Amino acid sequence: MAERIYIFDTTLRDGEQAPGISLNQREKVEIAEQLARLEVDVIEAGFPVSSPSEFEAVKAVAKAVKGPVICALARTERNDIDWAWEAIMFAERPRIHTFISTSEYHMKYQLKKTPKQVLELARDAVAYARKYVENVEFSAMDATRSDPKFLYQVYAAAVKAGATVINIPDTVGYALPDEFAELVKGVMENVPGIENVLVSVHCHNDLGLAVANSLAAARVGARQIECAVNGLGERAGNASLEEVVMIINTRKDYVDLTTGVNTREIYQTSRLVSMLTGYNVQPNKAIVGDNAFAHESGIHQDGVLKHRVTYEIMHPEDVGLVESEIYLGKHSGRHALKAKLEEMGFYLDDKGLERAFIRFKELAGKKKEITVKDLEAIALDEIRTLEELFQLEYMQSSSGTGAIPIAAVKLSREGKSYEATATGDGQVDAVCKAIAKATKVKAKLVSYQVQAITKGLDAMGDVTIKLDIDGHEVVGRGVSPDIIEASARAYINAINRGIQKGLLEKKKLARKAKAGTRSKVSSRKAGS
Q: How far is the CB of 171 from ligand KIV (least distance, A)?
A: 4
Shortest Cβ 135–ligand KIV spacing (Å): 16
Binding region for ligand KIV (CB under 6 A) out of 18-26, 167-175, 470-478, 510-518:
167-175
> Do residues 39 and 260 lie in contact, with contact meaning Cβ atoms separated by under 8 Å?
yes
Strands (E) across 192-333 are located at 198-203, 224-227, 257-258
Q: How far is the CB of 232 from Zn ion (least distance, A)?
A: 11
Residue of 15, 169, 237, 478 that binds ligand KIV (CB under 6 A)? 169
Of 98 and 464, the one with the shorter C-beta distance to ligand KIV is: 98
Nearer to ligand KIV, 137 or 243 (CB): 137
Residue (41 or 234) nearer to Zn ion, CB: 234
- Nearest approach, Cβ of residue 80 and ligand KIV (Å): 12
158, exposed or middle or buried, with CB in 10 Å at 0-12, 13-18, 19+? buried
Q: Which is nearer to ligand KIV, 218 or 383 (CB)?
A: 218
Closest approach, Cβ 75 to ligand KIV, in A, equals: 9
CA 187 to chain centre: 30
Return the number of the residue (35 or 71) whose C-beta is nearest ligand KIV: 71
Which residues contact residue 248 at a Cβ distance below 8 angstroms, ignoring those fewer than 6 apart? 5, 215, 218, 255, 257, 258, 259
Residue 407 and residue 430 in contact, taking contact as beta carbons nearer than 8 Å: yes
**Cβ-contact 283, 239 below 8 angstroms:** no
**Stretch touching Zn ion by CB under 5 A, among 9-17, 46-54, 146-154, 389-397:** 9-17
State the binding partner of 99 from ligand KIV, Zn ion, none, CB within 5 to 8 A by kind.
ligand KIV
SS3 32: helix
- Give the number of other CB atoms < 10 A from CB of residue 161: 18
Q: Judging by DSSP bridges, how do beta strands 165-170 and 198-203 pair with one another? A: parallel
DSSP state of 233: S
Residue 99 is a binding residue for ligand KIV (CB under 6 A): yes
SS3 content of the chain, % helix, strand, coil (to 5): 50, 20, 30
Residue number with the smallest Cβ distance to Zn ion: 14
141 contacts ligand KIV (rule: CB under 6 A): yes
Residues 6+ apart with CB under 8 A from 165: 95, 97, 135, 136, 137, 138, 197, 198, 199, 200, 224
Q: How big is the site for ligand KIV, counted in residues (CB under 6 A)?
A: 9
Among Zn ion, ligand KIV, none, the one that 340 touches (CB under a kind-dependent 5 to 8 A) is none
Contact between 14 and Zn ion per CB under 5 A: yes
- The CA-based angle 397-402-408, given to 5 degrees, is 15
Q: How far is the CB of 297 from ligand KIV (least distance, A)?
A: 40
Minimum gap (Å) between residue 226 Cβ and Zn ion = 8
- Give the integer Cα–Cα distance in Å for 499 and 247: 40
CA gyration radius, the chain: 25
Q: What whole-number distance in Å separates Cα of residue 448 and Cα of residue 466?
A: 7
What is the smallest separation between the CB atom of 343 and ligand KIV, expressed in angstroms?
37
Q: Which is nearer to ligand KIV, 30 or 170 (CB)?
A: 170
**Which residue number, 171 or 249, has a Cβ lying nearer to ligand KIV?**
171
Q: How far apart are CA 247 and CA 224, in angstroms?
A: 15
Q: How far is the CB of 43 from Zn ion (least distance, A)?
A: 15
> Which of 103, 135, 139, 480 is close enough to bind ligand KIV by CB under 6 A?
139
Kindly write out the interface string for residues 479-508 of this chain, putting x where it contacts ligand KIV by CB under 6 A and - elsewhere.
------------------------------
- Return the H-helix or E-strand segment holding 75: strand 69-75
The kind and range of the H/E element at 416 are strand 416-423
d(CA 137, CA 73): 9
Indicate whether 14 belongs to the interface with ligand KIV (CB under 6 A).
Answer: yes
CB of 141 to ligand KIV, least distance (A): 4
Q: Which is nearer to Zn ion, 14 or 462 (CB)?
A: 14
The distance of closest approach from Cβ of residue 8 to Zn ion in the complex, given in angstroms and rounded to an integer, is 11
Binding segment (CB under 6 A) for ligand KIV, from list 1-9, 164-172, 258-266, 352-360: 164-172
Among 98, 135, 171, 464, binds ligand KIV (CB under 6 A): 171
Cα dist. 14→76, 94, 157, 211, 420 in Å?
A: 17, 18, 25, 16, 39
What backbone torsions phi and psi does residue 502 show, to the nearest 5 degrees? Answer: 85, 10
Q: Does residue 202 belong to the site contacting ligand KIV (CB under 6 A)?
A: yes
Q: How far apart are CA 420 and CA 426, in angstroms?
A: 17
Q: Binding string, 450-469, against ligand KIV, x = CB under 6 A?
A: --------------------
Q: What is residue 3's three-state secondary structure?
A: strand
Residues near ligand KIV (CB under 6 A) are 14, 99, 139, 141, 167, 169, 171, 202, 204
- Which residues would be at the binding site for Zn ion (CB under 5 A)? 14
